[in-house]
Amino acid sequence: MRIYVTKDYAEMSRKAANIISAQIIIKPDSILGLATGSTPIGTYDQLVNWYEKGDLDFSEVVTVNLDEYRGLGPESPQSYVYYMRHYLFDRVNIKPENTHLPNGLNENAEEACNDYNELLNKLGEQDLQILGIGRNGHIGFNEPDEIFDQDVHCVSLTNSTIEANKRFFEAGEEVPKYAYTMGIRSILRARKILMMASGEDKADAVKKAFFGPVTPLVPASILQLHDDVILVTDQAAYSKCANSTHTRHTAYIL
């Protein structure tokens, strides 16, 4: 695993955008696995900026997002489909029909998950999967558990995730308790994985995920078993790893 430790959030975002942009330039019809949350916002901004300058072309890019809240659709500003349009899709020349997320408006969980699984299988593996990390080590909405869930599934969100997500909702508004998410197999089948982490509140999760044992209690730890993972982290999120070593990791301090 290659680890890039950047000075701050802005540098992390730029480095991650560099990697995504290289992927699109090398393979214009790349399938990108995309993530939401606060972490990738700066990265998407940077990609939009390069697109506006004429340096990036999304016309052949295909995207599959990690997850979506059950019960929320494009009209809801808290849905991930809304987020993706707002931060990226509506700002670049990607074809709307090439962008995919689980259908949060289908409340029939089994059907919604089967549909998304089928779509992922039909499209084929992601060339590059982007990930953030939760404070509890989750990836997508794969929460700490006794087992690693494999394919797209419906999850009941943990209290800590519901609490963390409250900041995106108005006071008194209900934070959804369920979400549809790619499972660990759907994530690991990507050819290349780019994880981003920023801020001191991620330091514990980053240390456990990349320098601790591989366990479903820290879902991101499974990434240690993938052959092509790049972690781009700022110093704050890496602060607890500074003295850690791992035979499979090479760290570059930028």
Where in 189-248 is the site for ligand PGA (CB under 6 A)?
A: none
What is the footprint of ligand PGA within residues 80-139 (CB under 6 A)? 132-134
The reply to whether 63 sits near ligand PGA by the rule CB under 6 A is no
Active-site position among 138, 149, 153, 234? 138
Residues making up the chain, counted from first to last: 254
Is residue 165 flagged as an active site residue? no
| Residue 133 vs 182, nearer CB to ligand PGA | 133
Nearer to ligand PGA, 5 or 98 (CB): 5
- The least CB distance from residue 163 to ligand PGA, in Å, is 12
Q: Which of 33, 37, 42, 183 binds ligand PGA (CB under 6 A)?
A: 37
Residue of 188, 252, 238 lying closest to 209 (CA atoms): 238
- At closest approach, how far in Å is the CB of 57 from ligand PGA? 27
**What is the number of other CB atoms lying within 10 angstroms of the CB of residue 79?**
21
Q: Is 30 helix (H, G, I), strand (E, B) or coil?
A: coil
67 is catalytic: yes
Q: What's the closest the beta carbon of residue 236 comes to ligand PGA, in angstroms? A: 12
Residue 33 sits in the site that holds ligand PGA (CB under 6 A): no
Round to whole Å and give the CA distance between 50 and 44.
10
Q: Is the C-alpha dihedral spanning 89, 93, 95, 99 positive or negative?
A: negative
Q: Which is nearer to ligand PGA, 134 or 212 (CB)?
A: 134
Count of CB atoms situated within 10 Å of the CB of 16: 27
**Structural contact between residues 218 and 5, judged by C-beta atoms closer than 8 angstroms:** no
Instruction: Give the DSSP H or E segment for 160.
Output: helix 159-165
Residue 38 touching ligand PGA (CB under 6 A): yes
CB of 214 to ligand PGA, least distance (A): 18
Name which of 57 and 78 has its Cβ closer to ligand PGA.
Answer: 78
Binding span for ligand PGA by CB under 6 A among 8-16, 34-42, 184-192, 229-237 = 34-42
Contact 210, 231 (CB under 8 A): yes
Q: Give the span between the Cα atoms of 184 and 202, in whole angstroms.
A: 20
* Alpha-carbon gap, residue 142 to 144, rounded angstroms: 7
Q: Cβ distance 189 to 151 under 8 Å?
A: no
Smallest distance from ligand PGA to CB 44, Å: 12
Please list the residues that pair with 193 across neighbouring strands.
129, 229
How many residues touch ligand PGA (CB under 6 A)?
6
**Catalytically active residues, by annotation:** 67, 136, 138, 143
Q: Applying CB under 6 A, which residues contact ligand PGA?
A: 37-39, 132-134
